[in-house]
Amino acid sequence: MSRFINLFLPIPLVFSLSGCLEDSNAQTAENIFTPVEFSVISQGSQSDLSTEQYLVAKNEDRFNEIWLSVPSISGDVPLVDFAENNVLTVLSSIGVCSGLEVTNVEENEHTIIFNLTEVVTFDPGLCDPSPEAFENFSYAMIAYPKIFKNVSVVWGYREDF
């Protein structure tokens, strides 16, 4: 009886594994990411919101709503052609002694991914800002072509001191 089980047990396992390998190869083809052109149209600091938020504006009304909801934004109101572009506004929790960098933007069949990096620009042990500086958080507004896909944000970290 034991030999019978040993002879037939590997056969379903082989079929099972080969099916997984075929599915895995199909997934790889769907997950190829290609670069997307983008521009950072406004970047600086704001003190209204200390929680991380990602807000997409696909038209001028939504963009104005976002702009007016964060009156402490340090930059000028950018001009955006919403016939050609969407805008992702990143309100980060990155504060004093660090900065926000938009590394790149990519897309696949289903998703557009914004790769952002928190860049620590000063040795944290040497950073001694004023109490007011602790109330400021980095933001960026990123214009990208009119793409109607799910938006994902991926964060990285880099020390630059």
Q: Residue 6 is part of which domain span?
A: 1-30
Backbone φ and ψ of 7, nearest 5°: -70, -40
pLDDT for res 79: 95
Distance CA 67, CA 2 (A): 72
Q: How confident is the model at residue 22 (pLDDT cuts 50, 70, 90)?
A: low
C-beta separation of 111 from 151 below 8 A: yes
Q: What is the mean predicted confidence (pLDDT) over 63-69?
A: 96
pTM of the model as a whole: 0.78
C-beta separation of 120 from 127 below 8 A: no
Q: What is the mean predicted confidence (pLDDT) over 137-151?
A: 95
Residue 5 has pLDDT above 70, yes or no: no
Backbone φ and ψ of 20, nearest 5°: -65, -40
Q: Domain check: are 39 and 26 in the same one?
A: no
Q: Domain check: are 6 and 39 in the same one?
A: no
pLDDT tens for each residue of 95-126: 888 899 999 999 999 999 999 999 998 776 77
| Count of domains observed in the chain | 2
Q: Domain check: are 15 and 82 in the same one?
A: no
Residue 58 has pLDDT above 60, yes or no: yes
Which pair of structure tokens corresponds to residue 69?
């909801």
Range with the poorest average pLDDT among 7-16, 31-40, 93-102, 130-139: 7-16
pLDDT for res 126: 73
Q: Domain check: are 43 and 12 in the same one?
A: no
Q: Domain check: are 104 and 70 in the same one?
A: yes
